[in-house]
């Protein structure tokens, strides 16, 4: 075996076979590649990729620092919208920003956001009636947009929700085309798609900038995430520049809204297919809340509801794959992987490993009972990433998903209409090709 011997992988006819498969069916392509072993060679045209399937090898990789690997090309493309926020920044800038942003996500502060989350859910409920049909993913996007407006900016974003939602669709479509495109179009490229993308990015930038400016003028702590970011200081007493504040706000605004709305949409879909599990969630919620609104203090008591969210995110992880590009040669799984190789960690693949999960395609929230969960490798399930760059808002997102699900399911049952099917459209996140229509059935 040569120094840079490659792990086995699917045949790559004319050096475009993997690219064609990844562009037409990325989830299926990664699942097929994973059959070749813990590491699978998966070159995409001229770019070397290695799929890492084994939880132990994933942990070894994600534990590495910024000197060994950096974000992959696709993630770096996101800085066209996100700037140098936590998702896209590297090195010293990332470390400084991580410490500053952490001020907004300390447990005590996260708990204060519970009321805003529940209030947003009740505002959605006020617009619904028994027998109404809703588009579940669209409705969850509107709801989580309301939540992020309240918790991040302490403001009502419903008037701009459609504009932001349309912009997100344009941005997502753009990145789905860029995902494995071997040729990166320059920023000035005069295509219709690039024009729509730039306009959408400007719209999001303007909306967020207006909110930041309004807050700076107000000049007081309103208990939201933005107030925490404005007050955060590093060891030398320095805070964020206007550009850094903008980048972090857009990152939290877009990433926080998108992933939670998708997780909730997938969860309601799964519950509509498993009425016995849906009934158990409702019984727990009714017993815990009785006749009052949910609060942050109820979150740890809604144990089964949280297990349902976790299991939904196992089967349908909103972030379905992440990548890291090697900055130096790296020993992994018996191979020396060459500098420049991109390691691909696919939650979609690893979450469905039969070695980690018995009957892995079955929706079973009780996998996450403490005694069963203790036997699962910590990197067999990593919906929020892992290592030093694990998502900083993971606890916020879990509390949000649980409180929203509990509030909505106490009031209604969500029945999937006939002839509705889930068709996934992986892009930046695990979006759907078309929305699913559900009928609301009021609880007696």
SS (H, E, C) 347-365: HHHHCCCCCCCCCCCCCCH
CA nearest 432: which of 255, 132, 143, 169? 169
Report the SS3 class of residue 324.
Answer: strand
> Where are any strands of DSSP class E within 31-167?
39-41, 49-52, 69-71, 133-135
pTM metric for this prediction: 0.93
Give the pLDDT score at 256.
79
Which tokens belong to 269? 């879909």
CA nearest 400: which of 46, 157, 118, 203? 118
* 72 contact partners, CB below 8 Å, separation of at least 6: 322, 323, 324, 325, 342, 344
Place of tokens 């000035």: 188
In whole angstroms, give the CA distance from residue 348 to residue 318. Answer: 9
Give the pLDDT score at 171.
78
In whole angstroms, give the CA distance from residue 124 to residue 82. Answer: 28
Q: Which domains does the chain have, with CATH numbers?
A: 13-442 (1.10.630.10)
Total residues belonging to the chain = 444
Based on the number of CB atoms within 10 Å of its own CB, is 31 exposed (0-12), middle (13-18) or buried (19 or more)? middle
Give the pLDDT score at 186.
67
- Burial track 148-180 (b if 16+ CB lie within 10 A, e otherwise): bbbbbbbbebeebbeebbebbebbbbbbbebbb
* 383 contact partners, CB below 8 Å, separation of at least 6: 313, 314, 317, 318, 319, 347, 351
CA nearest 114: which of 251, 242, 302, 317? 302
pLDDT average per 10 residues of sequence, the chain (444 residues): 82 82 92 96 91 97 90 86 90 92 90 94 96 96 91 78 76 68 64 83 85 76 84 86 88 86 98 98 97 96 98 98 96 96 98 97 98 97 94 95 98 96 92 95 91
């Amino acid at each position: 075996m040569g120094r840079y011997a490659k792990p086995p992988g699917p045949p790559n006819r004319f050096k475009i076979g993997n690219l064609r498969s990844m562009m037409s069916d990325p989830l299926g392509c990664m699942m097929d590649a994973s059959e070749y072993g813990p590491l699978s060679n998966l070159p995409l045209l001229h770019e070397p990729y290695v799929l890492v399937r084994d939880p132990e090898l994933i942990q070894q990789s994600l534990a590495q620092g910024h000197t060994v690997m950096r974000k992959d090309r696709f993630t770096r493309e996101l800085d066209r919208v996100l700037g140098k926020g936590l998702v896209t920044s590297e090195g010293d800038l990332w470390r400084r920003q991580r410490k500053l942003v952490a001020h907004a996500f300390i447990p005590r502060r996260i708990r204060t956001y519970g009321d805003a989350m529940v209030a947003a859910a009740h505002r959605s409920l006020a617009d619904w009636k028994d027998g109404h049909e809703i588009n579940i993913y669209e409705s969850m996007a509107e709801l989580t947009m309301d939540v992020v407006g309240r918790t991040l900016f302490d403001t009502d974003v419903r008037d701009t929700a459609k504009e932001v939602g349309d912009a997100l669709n344009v941005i997502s479509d753009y990145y789905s085309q860029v995902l494995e495109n071997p040729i990166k179009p320059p920023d000035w490229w005069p295509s219709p798609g690039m024009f729509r993308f730039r306009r959408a990015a400007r719209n999001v930038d303007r909306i967020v900038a207006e909110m930041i400016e309004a807050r700076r003028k107000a000049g007081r702590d309103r208990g939201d995430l933005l107030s925490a970011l404005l007050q955060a200081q590093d060891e030398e007493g320095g805070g964020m520049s206007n550009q850094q504040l903008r980048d972090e706000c857009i990152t939290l605004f877009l990433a926080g809204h998108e992933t939670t709305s998708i997780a909730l949409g997938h969860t309601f879909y799964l519950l509509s297919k498993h009425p016995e599990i849906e009934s158990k969630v409702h019984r727990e919620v009714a017993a815990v809340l009785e006749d009052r609104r949910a609060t942050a203090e109820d979150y740890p008591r809604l144990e089964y509801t949280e297990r349902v969210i976790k299991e939904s995110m196992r089967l349908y992880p909103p972030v379905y794959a992440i990548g890291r590009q090697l900055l130096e040669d790296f020993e992994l799984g018996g191979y020396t992987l060459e500098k420049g190789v991109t390691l691909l960690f696919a939650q979609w693949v690893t979450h469905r490993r039969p070695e980690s999960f018995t009957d892995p395609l079955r929706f079973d929230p009780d996998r996450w009972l403490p005694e069963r969960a203790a036997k699962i490798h910590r990197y067999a399930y990593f919906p929020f990433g892992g290592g030093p760059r694990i998502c900083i808002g993971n606890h916020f997102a879990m509390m949000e998903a649980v409180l929203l699900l509990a509030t909505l399911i106490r009031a209604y049952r969500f029945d999937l209409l006939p002839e509705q099917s889930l068709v996934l459209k992986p892009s930046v996140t695990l979006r759907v090709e078309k929305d699913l229509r559900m009928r609301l059935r009021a609880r007696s």
